[in-house]
Amino acid sequence: MNNLTVGKRLFWSVLSLFTIFAVLFIAFHQVRENEYKINTLNLKLQDYNVRMHETLHNTGMLDDRKLEQYVSRHDVPGLRVTMMTRSGRVFFDSSTKDYNNMENHINRPEVRDAIKNGSGYDINRKSSIKEGDYFYSATYFKEDGYIIRSALPYDNDLTDSLQADMHYIWFTVIMVALLTFVLYRFISRLDDNITKLRIFARRADHNESLDTEDLIEFPADELGEISEHIIKIYKRLQHTKEEQNVLKRQLTQNIAHELKTPVASIQGYLETIIGNPEMNEDTKKQFLDRCYAQSQRLASLLTDISTLNRLDDAPELMPFEDVDIAKTVTQIMKETALEMEHRRMAFDNRLPATLVVHGNPSMIYSIFRNLTDNAISYAGEGTTITLTAREDMDRWHFTFSDNGVGVPYEHLGRLFERFYRVDKGRSRKLGGTGLGLAIVKNAVILHGGTISAANNIEGGLRFEFTIKKTNKS
């Protein structure tokens, strides 16, 4: 049994229990049915005894001839009638006239029960007078002081009448067979699913391929559907894990590449200064200024990487509070005013005077600051930034657009990728880290929103995004 599968063990266990139940139920039914038929036959003979007593009591006929006439008048095949005193002495028997030689019947079971309870019966006992077995039913009539006992031969007819109904037994056997068939079909499907899941678990544990024929199709039932979903989810997770590994490798390579450029510049300038102690002060200051600029770029890169790591690893740990976005945008406009003036750019802020959401102040600031810096860097001189907001039931819909040069269509879908640049050379020259828009997207998601980028029909780039008024995540 230990070598059997779970399905087969379940099949044999359920079948054994049902078979035991069926056998016990059939046995119980047979006993009850037999008792019922015996009681029915006994009641018929008891009724005969009572009617005979009533006739004898009313007519007072107790001589042999009249008794024989009464018994013969009731033509019951094989019926034998015996009358005896309270002490068990027989004084009439329809089968013999030699009463004096008949043994005392006081110890007969049906007689003892009749004297004690008023009536009694005995089944399948051999007669001492006639051949064969009899069914005896005795009745004690206390007021007249005698016992009437009627008996029928226990022949084939009576045996058949007392046997259980075989139709019921056959019906039960057929139902057991039908249940066995249905149970086997069900358990077979269950066993197939369990076997396939076991194969899946073993292969998953050993990192083996799951794209095999024995894991393609499952039985068409609920468990089969669940099993298919489990394998599909696992494959999806594995595929996602592989993609994440690829992204991590790419991210590591990109970080190494991005860090390499400012570090190399700083190192080169410092080596030049150290290697030329006679360098004039103006050139030395120029090199130090360039070192400082590269260190700022390096610091910005590390800050952006740290921000993305926090958004990826523990967004739930970021504190949320009420943030006035209108006030935040006004602050950003002040911070970037000189640079925008230098590029002859304008900021058309159409936000309401007060716009409060429940969010993380630092991430809210990062969204609008990075979008502003991106527009300043790439929209072009003489352009205008326009920021609008539309209130919905549970969120704000923002549109951040410019009327600059826009972005080629093939780049739109990748603007939010980390370290992705439309113009790599220009981006590095302007000091961009390539992580600004990635931070914007993750910060918007943190606040229960979505973001998309598209080119305006009249020119320029447009970002549309939402921020929930109250973020319960």
Query: Which single residue is written with the structure tokens 């998309």?
Result: 452
Give the distance between the most distant pair of CA atoms in the chain: 164
The residues, any chain, with a CB within 8 Å of residue 262's CB and separated by 6 or more, are 294, 295, 297, 298, 301
Task: Report the 10 Å Cβ neighbour count for 96.
Answer: 15
DSSP 82-135: EEEETTS-EEEETT-S-GGGSPP-TTSHHHHHHHHHSEEEEEEEE-SSSSSEEE
DSSP 317-386: GS--EEEEHHHHHHHHHHHTHHHHHHTT-EEEE---S--EEEE-HHHHHHHHHHHHHHHHHHS-TT-EEE
pLDDT greater than 50 at residue 425: no
Q: Give the burial string for 201-216 (b: 16+ CB within 10 Å, else e).
A: eeeeeeeeebeeeebe
pLDDT greater than 60 at residue 249: yes
The mean per-residue pLDDT over the stretch 32-38 comes to: 78
Between 48-62, 89-103, 168-182, 211-225, the lowest mean confidence (pLDDT) is in 211-225
Determine which helix (DSSP H) or strand (DSSP E) holds 414, and give its type and residue range.
none
- Give the 3-state secondary structure of residue 454: strand
Kindly report the average pLDDT of the chain as a whole number.
Answer: 79
CA 368-369-374 angle, to 5 degrees, is: 100
Cα–Cα distance for residue pair 369/300, rounded to 1 Å: 13
Cα–Cα distance for residue pair 417/428, rounded to 1 Å: 16
Tokens for 58?
A: 């009313």
Highest mean pLDDT among 82-86, 133-137, 291-295: 82-86
Q: In this prediction, what percent of the chain has a pLDDT beyond 90?
A: 24
Task: Report the 10 Å Cβ neighbour count for 249.
Answer: 10
pLDDT greater than 60 at residue 360: yes
Highest mean pLDDT among 50-64, 137-151, 222-236, 406-420: 137-151
Partner residues linked to 122 by β-bridges: 136
**Which letter does DSSP use for residue 470 in this model?**
B
Partner residues linked to 183 by β-bridges: none
CB 129 within 8 A of CB 93: yes
List the alpha helices (DSSP H) in 206-354. Answer: 222-275, 281-313, 325-335, 337-342
pLDDT digits (tens, 9 = 90+) for 428-459: 444 456 778 888 999 999 899 999 999 998 88
Strands 356-359 and 321-324: antiparallel
pLDDT greater than 70 at residue 67: yes
pLDDT of residue 450: 93
Q: Spell out the domains of the chain, with CATH numbers in brackets.
A: 6-162 (3.30.450.20), 317-468 (3.30.565.10)
Between 199-203, 269-273, 294-298, 364-368, the lowest mean confidence (pLDDT) is in 199-203
- Higher pLDDT pick, 344 / 70: 344
Cα–Cα distance for residue pair 405/363, rounded to 1 Å: 28
pLDDT digits (tens, 9 = 90+) for 128-157: 555 567 889 999 999 888 999 998 886 655
Highest mean pLDDT among 71-80, 126-135, 343-352, 371-380: 343-352
pLDDT of residue 210: 58
Confidence of residue 1 (pLDDT cuts 50, 70, 90): very low
- Give the 3-state secondary structure of residue 400: strand
Task: Report the 10 Å Cβ neighbour count for 220.
Answer: 8
Cα–Cα distance for residue pair 138/113, rounded to 1 Å: 8
Tokens for 5?
A: 């599968």
pLDDT greater than 90 at residue 383: yes
pLDDT of residue 186: 72
pLDDT of residue 330: 95
pLDDT greater than 50 at residue 11: yes
pLDDT of residue 255: 60
The mean per-residue pLDDT over the stretch 321-347 comes to: 93
Confidence of residue 355 (pLDDT cuts 50, 70, 90): very high
CB 135 within 8 A of CB 142: no
Confidence of residue 244 (pLDDT cuts 50, 70, 90): low
pTM for this model (two decimals): 0.48
pLDDT greater than 70 at residue 211: no
pLDDT of residue 29: 74
pLDDT of residue 7: 66
Partner residues linked to 138 by β-bridges: 120, 149
- Higher pLDDT pick, 229 / 57: 57
